[in-house]
Amino acid sequence: MNRQALRAAARKRLDDIAQPYGWPDDELNRWLDEAVREASLRAGLTVATTAIPCRAGVASYSLPYRVRYVLDAWWTRQVSPATPRAPLERVDRDAFDVWARPTTNLADPTRYLIAGRTIRLHPTPKDAGYLEMRGRLVPPPMESDDDEPDISPYLHEHLVEWVMYQAGLKRDVDYNLPDPLAHEAIFARYFGPRPSELTLQGWLEYGATDTVIPNAWRYGR
């Protein structure tokens, strides 16, 4: 379903099919984009690969804003002699501090640490290259009515529940929906509960998808 079809489905559910609309198009479009982000965040639906160009002698880089969770990472040296893509090992802060001494060690990276929104490589790259990551990303917004959500098509119709939820929260004497939380509960039944930002940050830094930090990450894999 493209954005136009999703918006029409939402209007049918809202009984808002005659102009002037109670909920304008731009409002429904915004809630549809929000629904896609929420669905992807809760269920880990948008998995893609992104890359960061790295400079010689620089070990720390900001993660792209769309990256919410890193599944795998690789290093590729781009100068002659170029190297094949090599997997990087994720470590935690304690292990990284041990392996990172001395800091003057320059070579092809073999490990990485995520702290906050920063990814650090060890050893520090001796040459320029690329840090490639496969991860769960924030899906892009739909720019036109022909665009489709960046999740599996069989899930598209369930995005309308989030629109119903947001529409019900809007305070308007002429357009009022009872029990909007029921629609959020249905949405959560399909896509799962929303993890807190603190939990998401813990997952990003430690590579786990629960609230407990496993010992395996405490000492490296």
pLDDT higher than threshold 70 for residue 102: no
Give the pLDDT score at 207: 78
Give the pLDDT score at 79: 74
Would the pTM of this model clear 0.85, i.e. be above it? Answer: no
Higher pLDDT among residues 10 and 80, named by residue? 10
Pick the range with the lowest mean pLDDT from 18-22, 52-56, 101-105: 101-105
Give the pLDDT score at 184: 96
Return the residue matching tokens 């939990």: 199
* Mean pLDDT to the nearest integer, 172-182: 79
The DSSP 8-state label assigned to residue 124 in this structure reads B
pLDDT higher than threshold 70 for residue 56: yes
168 φ/ψ angles, rounded to the nearest 5 degrees: -70, -25
Residue 91 to residue 114: CA distance in whole angstroms:
8
pLDDT higher than threshold 50 for residue 58: yes
CB 118 within 8 A of CB 62: yes
pLDDT higher than threshold 60 for residue 215: no
Our measurement of the distance from residue 132's CA atom to the centroid of its chain's CA atoms, rounded to an integer in Å, reads 16
Residue 139 to residue 48: CA distance in whole angstroms:
10
How many residues are given for the chain? 221
Higher pLDDT among residues 72 and 80, named by residue? 72
Give the pLDDT score at 213: 40
Give the pLDDT score at 104: 66
Give the pLDDT score at 203: 87
pLDDT higher than threshold 50 for residue 220: no
pLDDT bracket for residue 152 (50, 70, 90): very high
* Mean pLDDT to the nearest integer, 52-57: 94
